[in-house]
A and B are shown apart, each in its own frame.
Chain A
Amino acid sequence: MAGFLQQLVNGLSLGSIYALVALGYTMVYGIIQLINFAHGDVLMVGAYVGFAAVVFLKLSIWWAFLLAMGCTALLGILIERVAYRPLRHRGAPRLAALITAIGVSLFLENSGLLLFRPEIRSYPPGLILNRPLSISLGGIDFTVTTFQVTILAVTGILLLFLQYIVYWTKTGKAMRAVADDADAARLMGIDVDKTISFTFALGSAFAAVAGVLLGLYYNAIDPLMGIMPGLKAFIAAVLGGIGLIPGAVLGGFSLGFLEALVSGYWSSRMRDPIVFLLLILILLFKPSGLLGKNQVEKV
């Protein structure tokens, strides 16, 4: 039982990182029904910006987070502007948009390989206090590190921030309106393109935080580091119900737990295949996700 609880705690940190990435997928999907394959690579860029901020600019890790968020927000806007918007305005088929997204993803990965070189880099030690805390809960002992607590806290703060944006600001209202019906939103005077840009910026900034956290968590960054977390976060978004913000969070945490359990009780080599198997199972039995409602598709 103690072992199980320990796995859950471990799953919690990875789960929050997945949740942060999944939010970006789900927001973009919710608003323009596109799987933004490049989202994982935006995370990678965020991790490198954070790395540069800490190593070259000698900034503290908190400034590194902010700088990474700012840069990737701009990157997100740029990607949307250059690659996706022309297709959307032309009413191109979804297949074209998906292929473009794959193109953007490959472009970022290979630019990363060219610019940052393929070698693995590490954040300098001691950026975030990482001390084990022994906790005893109802007679069960387990260990949490202060770093794990930090990850959870950062995620929590960002989630509250997102709630505030989506439900309490005018831009958030516009986002919800465009997600519901872009044409109607346009008729109501909402600048649809600007709202979509903002969504990309927000999602990308969240991915950047996840990128820096991942870099600290594994103590390694490389230009292809975004691929797997990107795919898994997408699975998390589908698991929770794509397009739904609470779904992304629930999906992210569930996936984190599942991975921790598979690694802990079976084999870490089976972790990825099991996660993908989970995806296929959800798609089979509940394609609308845990929180989604099965809807009749209007013809």
Chain B
Amino acid sequence: MAKGKYIFWRLVALLLPYVLIQGLLGAGLISDFQQITLMMMGINIILAVSLNLIVGFTGQLALGHAGFMAVGAYTAAVLTLKIHQPFLLSLILGGLAASLAGLLVGLPTLRLKGDYLAIATLGFGEIIRGILNNVEYVGGAAGLLGIPRLTTWTWLYGFLVLTLLGVMNFVNSTHGRACLAIREDEIAAETVGINTTYYKVVAFSLGDFFAGLAGGLYAHYFYLIQPSSFSFFRSFDVLVMVVLGGLGSITGSVLAAMGITLLNALLQDLAEFRMIIYSLLLILVMIFRPQGLMGRREWSLARWLEKRGEARGPAGS
């Protein structure tokens, strides 16, 4: 296959969704409700893909993703709202703050066995919420109000692509393979020379960086953030996306995040009913299809083009 052609298709695949939606937005064909759903999809994809890095690829069950999202959201919101910093800088600092928080929680707890990590991260999420509830500077339980609405489709799409590329590049590198080795067998990973604690912390703080980014984008879309928006129910929500999509499949996380966000929007009035279905799916998937809906497969543009080429007869290269 010609390399130029591959790059061309790659750019098309990358830009098509953006251009399409941007056009529809410009033409005023997307309702406010649809727009909110769309933005939540993007934010949830970032959350799901970054949690998958920790749970799916590194095999560490972390239940505090919403807490790290909160760190990013509050940091970025305080920076734009109170200190009047530029949006981009605020978002990145929000991501870094979440990452730092991840490092602080990760360094001590990642030495522990998986189930303790789950509870420790869940506890951490609650500590964050407890602190936010008690700090008047960020509005206490009432939350932060009047955050400028700076998150546009363009910003969101840009960060979405960056997240996907970053995570894909990471998992397909020697560093990502070190994480996979930890998931498969921590002891064997150590005996081939992998510093397992280091890589757990790397996966953790990288995942939390993106969670913080998602938090910043979220805060600057909804004007208002409250500690209660970041309870462990949100962490569980993201976990459901990761599990249904497939532990260790980025494509799966993207699809599941989109599907579940859509369902959430459609079944808004049936919240309990929806959650019952998700929880049953969670159990059934673990029992009957533990690899998730996508398994560990990934959709790949190169492979797709190859198949297309084969179908048409041998492609000149």
Name A residues whose Cβ lies closer than 8 Å to a Cβ of B.
33-35, 83, 86-87, 92-100, 102-107, 109-111, 113-114, 231, 234-235, 238, 267, 269-270, 272-273, 276-277, 279-280, 283-284, 287, 299
Contact = CB atoms under 8 A, between A and B. Distances in A.
A100 B124 contact: no
Contact of A269 (B114, B118, B134, B278): B134
A279 B119 CA distance: 9
Contact of A95 (B61, B120, B129): B61
Interface stretch (B24-32, B38-46, B214-222, B279-287): B279-287
B123 A279 contact: yes
12 contacts: A95-B114, A98-B114, A99-B239, A102-B282, A103-B286, A111-B276, A113-B272, A114-B272, A273-B129, A280-B108, A280-B109, A283-B109
Contacts of A105: 279
Contacts, number: 122
A178 B221 CA distance: 54
A280 B282 contact: no
Interface of B: 55, 59, 61, 63, 105, 108-109, 112, 114-116, 118-120, 122-124, 126-127, 129-131, 133-134, 187, 236, 239, 243, 247, 271-273, 275-276, 278-283, 286-287, 290
Q: Which 6 residue pairs of A and B lie closest in terms of their CB atoms, listed nearest first?
A: A273-B130, A103-B282, A276-B123, A106-B279, A107-B279, A110-B275
B109 A272 contact: no
Given A92-B290, A104-B279, A110-B272, A238 B116 contact: yes
A75 to B, nearest CB: 15
Contact of A272 (B63, B115, B126): B126
Contacts of A277: 123, 127
B287 A87 contact: yes
Given A234-B119, A283-B109, A270 B287 contact: no
A26 B109 CA distance: 21
Contacts of B239: 99, 102
A40 to B, nearest CB: 12
A119 to B, nearest CB: 13
A96 B286 contact: yes
A268 to B, nearest CB: 11
Interface SS of chain A: helix
B112 A106 contact: no
B236 to A, nearest CB: 6
B118 A106 contact: no
Nearest to B121: A280
A92 B286 contact: yes
B116 A83 contact: no
Contacts of A114: 272-273, 276
A235 B272 CA distance: 28
Contacts of A95: 55, 59, 61, 114, 247
A273 B127 contact: yes
B272 A276 contact: no
A270 B130 CA distance: 7
A34 B127 CA distance: 24
A94 B115 CA distance: 8
A208 B28 CA distance: 55
A79 to B, nearest CB: 10
Given A235-B119, A277-B127, 5 more contacts: A33-B115, A35-B118, A95-B247, A106-B236, A107-B283
Contacts of A276: 123-124, 126-127, 130
B228 to A, nearest CB: 13
B316 to A, nearest CB: 46
A273 B118 contact: no
B282 A99 contact: yes
B263 to A, nearest CB: 14
Given A92-B290, A283-B116, A283-B120, A83 B283 contact: yes
Contacts of B114: 94-95, 98
A106 B275 contact: yes
A98 B115 contact: yes
A98 B116 contact: no
Contacts of B130: 269-270, 272-273, 276
